[in-house]
């Protein structure tokens, strides 16, 4: 008969009929299991008590579906900045010693069903064997690198000894997670089975290896040195170092530290390798980059908990169960694919039957995209096809509880379509518009129930861009906002609630950056130099490259909206319409500011040709100082000033929303912590000093009252 459970605060200990001990973790007061101090203490108590009557084997599992362990408690990570290097190394040693106790005790198996990240994976690695499940939510990985850190409880020691230094390096330095099947192929787990078979599979592994020497052999493998052949060591160091530098540009210290720690640790025994790991962790924890990345993670967690209505308002709003999308263009197709990937059955409506038919294969391919193989899975596409419904009449949305309109970006067309949706859809459905420029108030003019109407601005490409601006119009109800926010989260997106205004948040902050770049081009600064300075700051591409990527015609129309609203500081540039008139629309036409091979599908072929130079010369401006620092200031200080105006006007509720938005939508470098965090690294007084020589450029470089107040009071932008 199984023994009765021993209940601790975070885990229950039982013994089955064969005497195997089963430790089931449920960490209270958290959405996922996390390694709190209490969880670690309870594990130590359980190991002590089991030692009184040693079991033949032990199984560690989660009692919470979909979550083995999501990593360390965020509060513990936030305290790192206040600790000395010695104190941090002691913390690493304490956690590692507990896991070492586990790895030296009775034969053990971790049952990994659901999230298994960071310290959770280190806990699983401390067990002799691991069983993963086929649950799509089962993901294993080391995301510490995204916090500017490395695994600190033995991850860089055990992982390379188990799967080899090359695969271990890729997993730890990239920070991406893998599913159970990939973990089995890698050798990270010993079995991958359906969730309902996982516990039985763990018992079978314990029974199989009870006396065959496997456990002792694996423990030696994870304890002894695993030195690389000198040539292999040199090759891995050179190739991986080059890949890491290509990914990070040398701005993130964690990936090269992971490479160095894994290579050095492989040459010594596990105890010595662990000390190297702790020292490296402590060094990284002291860096400004880690502090910034932890802040970005923290505000992301805040966003995941936010109902969209305020920090203290809890909402019971749920994601839609019967969504529909109207408009089968690029954005509509991307939104539909995002729904399919998230598990929805979705209806797509477009009056053009041919456009619908042509678009379905691309939607299914996008929805079936496999990140691991970097290609679409034909089998997955076939499965998803059954969840995509298409129609050419609006009657098809009659049963929908959320309809997202995504037709052409013209207010008159959108108003007609939205009115037709309202006539067709049920009374309690939310109606949303995917718009980047059209005021929600104007689009709501023809609606009978504007309270259930809001904006949901997705960004292109939808699969890769996680930000969604949920735009509250003057009449939008709280319940509508909460439902839109909940639905965006169900899609795996990061929703930020924005008050209706021209440009909303992202485009309003982006436009000064783009506008200033063109002004510098008109002053004679080469576009390549402007882009190079921007990339050197950490942006994924420069503003001139971004113009060509967006499409100069699209940028032109967006610029008209913003210029009409903020013309005193964002005056429409004559260069953009002149390039559009000349047929240079950017990549999609094969040429914009730059030329491109293969009609824009291939790489850039060089600087602007004579026709572009002639257009720019036609609208030339007097030259200004143009050293790299000045170029960077002219690009990013106007963005900061506009962000401060956004906050002053209450367009968003919190500065953290600004930082999250510019990172997720514009690629603002995370290692700088966001636009406001970057400003804090300068200080308000320094920002004012840098603006002084730019004052002659006009209103767009004038400090706001809030900036002057910050400088006067010595306060932080992020406070």
| Digit-coded pLDDT (tens) for 146-195 | 999 999 999 999 999 999 999 999 999 999 999 999 999 999 999 999 99
For residue 42, the number of C-alpha atoms closer than 13 Å in the C-beta half-sphere is: 21
Together in a domain, 165 and 267? yes
By annotation, the residues acting in catalysis are 457
- The answer as to whether 143 is a domain residue is yes
Q: Is pLDDT of 489 > 60?
A: yes
For residue 319, the number of C-alpha atoms closer than 13 Å in the C-beta half-sphere is: 17
Together in a domain, 225 and 174? yes
- The answer as to whether 297 is a domain residue is no
Burial string for 152-183 (b: 16+ CB within 10 Å, else e) reads bbbbbbbbbbbbbbbbbbebbbbbebbbbebb
Together in a domain, 395 and 492? yes
Q: Give the span between the Cα atoms of 3 and 11, in whole angstroms.
A: 15
Instruction: Name the band, by pLDDT with cuts 50, 70 and 90, for residue 577.
Output: very high
Together in a domain, 467 and 517? no
Together in a domain, 173 and 188? yes
Domain boundary among 500, 519, 551: 500
- The answer as to whether 314 is a domain residue is no
What mean pLDDT is predicted for residues 669-692? 97
Query: What is the share, in percent, of the chain residues with pLDDT greater than 90?
Result: 79
**Which CATH number does the domain housing residue 195 bear?**
3.90.226.10
**Which CATH number does the domain housing residue 605 bear?**
1.10.1040.50
Six token digits for residue 573: 């540039």
pTM, 2 dp:
0.91
Together in a domain, 8 and 87? yes
Burial of 599 (0-12, 13-18, 19+ CB in 10 A): exposed
* pLDDT computed for residue 376 by the predictor: 87
- The answer as to whether 304 is a domain residue is no
- The answer as to whether 292 is a domain residue is no
What's the total number of domains in the chain?
3
Q: What is the pLDDT of residues 422-461, one digit of tens each?
A: 999 999 999 999 998 889 999 999 899 999 999 999 998 9
Percentages helix, strand, coil for the chain, rounded to the nearest 5? 55, 15, 35
For 541-556, the DSSP string reads S-HHHHHHHH-HHHHH
Q: What is the pLDDT of residues 391-414, one digit of tens each?
A: 999 999 999 999 999 999 888 999
- The answer as to whether 273 is a domain residue is yes
Residues 6+ apart with CB under 8 A from 206: 20, 56, 57, 59, 107, 109, 129
Phi, psi (deg, nearest 5) at residue 302: -60, -40
- The answer as to whether 310 is a domain residue is no
Together in a domain, 150 and 259? yes
Residue 680: domain span: 507-620+627-713
* pLDDT computed for residue 602 by the predictor: 64
Residues paired with residue 440 on neighbouring β-strands, in sequence order:
none
Q: Give the span between the Cα atoms of 369 and 87, in whole angstroms.
A: 44
**Which CATH number does the domain housing residue 330 bear?**
3.40.50.720
Domain boundary among 500, 519, 540: 500
Contact 122, 60 (CB under 8 A): no
Together in a domain, 531 and 561? yes
Whether the ω angle into residue 473 lies within 30 degrees of 0, i.e. cis, is no
Together in a domain, 356 and 390? yes
Together in a domain, 274 and 344? no
Together in a domain, 449 and 470? yes
Together in a domain, 244 and 342? no
Domain boundary among 469, 500, 531: 500
| Element spanning 270, H or E | helix 270-285
Q: Give the span between the Cα atoms of 556 and 20, in whole angstroms.
A: 69
- The answer as to whether 557 is a domain residue is yes
105 SS3 class: coil
Instruction: Name the band, by pLDDT with cuts 50, 70 and 90, for residue 1.
Output: very low
């Amino acid at each position: 008969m199984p023994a009765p459970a021993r209940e601790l605060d975070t885990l229950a200990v039982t013994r089955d009929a064969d005497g195997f001990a089963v430790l089931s973790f449920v960490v209270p007061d958290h959405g996922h299991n996390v390694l709190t101090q209490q969880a670690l203490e309870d594990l130590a108590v359980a190991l002590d008590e089991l030692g009184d009557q040693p079991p033949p084997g032990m199984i560690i599992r989660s009692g919470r579906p979909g979550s083995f362990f999501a990593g360390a408690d965020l509060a513990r990570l936030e305290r790192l900045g206040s600790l000395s290097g010695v104190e941090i190394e002691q913390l690493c040693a304490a956690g590692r010693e507990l896991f070492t106790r586990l790895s030296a005790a009775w034969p053990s198996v971790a049952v990994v069903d659901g999230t298994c990240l960071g310290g959770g994976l280190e806990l699983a690695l401390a067990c002799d064997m691991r069983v993963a499940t086929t649950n799509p939510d089962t993901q294993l990985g080391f995301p510490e690198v995204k916090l500017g850190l490395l695994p600190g409880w033995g991850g860089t020691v055990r992982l390379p000894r188990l799967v080899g230094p090359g695969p271990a390096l890729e997993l730890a330095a990239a920070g991406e997670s893998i599913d159970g099947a990939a973990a089995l192929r890698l050798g990270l787990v010993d079995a991958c089975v359906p969730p309902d078979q996982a516990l039985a599979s763990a018992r079978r592994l314990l029974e199989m290896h009870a006396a065959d020497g496997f456990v002792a052999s694996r423990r030696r493998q994870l304890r002894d040195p695993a030195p690389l052949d000198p040539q292999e060591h040199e090759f891995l160091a050179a190739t991986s170092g080059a890949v890491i530098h290509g990914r990070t540009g040398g701005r993130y210290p964690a990936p090269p530290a992971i490479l160095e720690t894994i290579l050095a640790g492989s040459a010594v025994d596990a105890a010595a390798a662990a000390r190297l790991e702790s020292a490296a962790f402590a060094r990284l924890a002291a860096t400004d980059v880690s502090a910034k990345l932890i802040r970005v993670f923290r505000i992301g967690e805040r966003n995941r908990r936010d109902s969209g209505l305020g920090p203290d308002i809890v909402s019971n709003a749920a994601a839609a169960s019967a969504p529909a999308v109207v408009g089968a263009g690029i954005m509509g197709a991307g939104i539909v694919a995002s729904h399919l990937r998230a598990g929805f059955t979705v209806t797509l409506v477009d009056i053009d039957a041919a456009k619908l038919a042509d678009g379905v294969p691309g939607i299914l391919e996008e929805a079936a995209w496999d990140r691991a193989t970097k290609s679409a899975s034909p089998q997955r596409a076939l499965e998803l096809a059954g969840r995509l419904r298409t129609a050419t009449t609006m009657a098809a949305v009659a049963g929908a509880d959320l309809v997202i309109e995504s037709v052409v970006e013209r207010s008159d067309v959108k108003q007609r379509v939205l009115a037709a949706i309202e006539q067709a859809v049920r009374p309690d459905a939310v109606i949303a518009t995917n718009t980047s420029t059209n005021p929600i108030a104007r689009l709501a003019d023809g609606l009978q129930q504007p309270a259930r109407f809001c904006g949901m601005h997705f960004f292109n490409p939808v699969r890769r861009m996680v930000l969604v601006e949920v735009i509250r119009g003057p009449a939008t109800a709280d319940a509508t906002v909460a439902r839109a926010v909940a639905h965006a989260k169900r899609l795996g997106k990061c929703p930020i609630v924005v008050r209706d205004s021209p440009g909303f948040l992202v485009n309003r902050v982006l436009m000064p950056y783009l506008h200033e770049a063109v002004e510098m081009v008109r002053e004679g600064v080469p576009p390549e130099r402007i882009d190079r300075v921007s990339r050197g700051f950490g942006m994924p591409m420069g503003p001139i490259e971004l113009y060509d990527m967006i499409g100069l015609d699209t940028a032109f129309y967006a610029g008209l909206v913003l210029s009409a609203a903020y013309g005193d500081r964002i005056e429409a540039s004559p260069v953009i319409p002149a390039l559009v008139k000349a047929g240079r629309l950017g990549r999609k036409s094969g040429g914009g500011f730059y030329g491109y091979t293969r009609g824009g599908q291939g790489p850039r072929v060089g600087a602007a040709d004579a026709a572009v130079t002639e257009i720019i010369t036609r609208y030339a401006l007097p030259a200004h100082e143009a050293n790299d620092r000045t170029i960077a200031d002219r690009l990013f200080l106007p963005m900061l000033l506009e962000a401060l105006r956004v906050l002053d006007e209450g367009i968003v509720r919190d500065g953290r929303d600004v930082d999250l938005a510019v990172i997720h939508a514009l690629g603002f470098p995370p290692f700088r912590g966001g636009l406001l965090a970057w400003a804090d690294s300068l200080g308000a007084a320094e920002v004012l000093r840098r603006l002084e020589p730019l004052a002659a450029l006009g209103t767009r470089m004038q400090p706001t009252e809030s900036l002057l107040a910050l400088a006067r009071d010595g306060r932080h932008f992020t406070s």
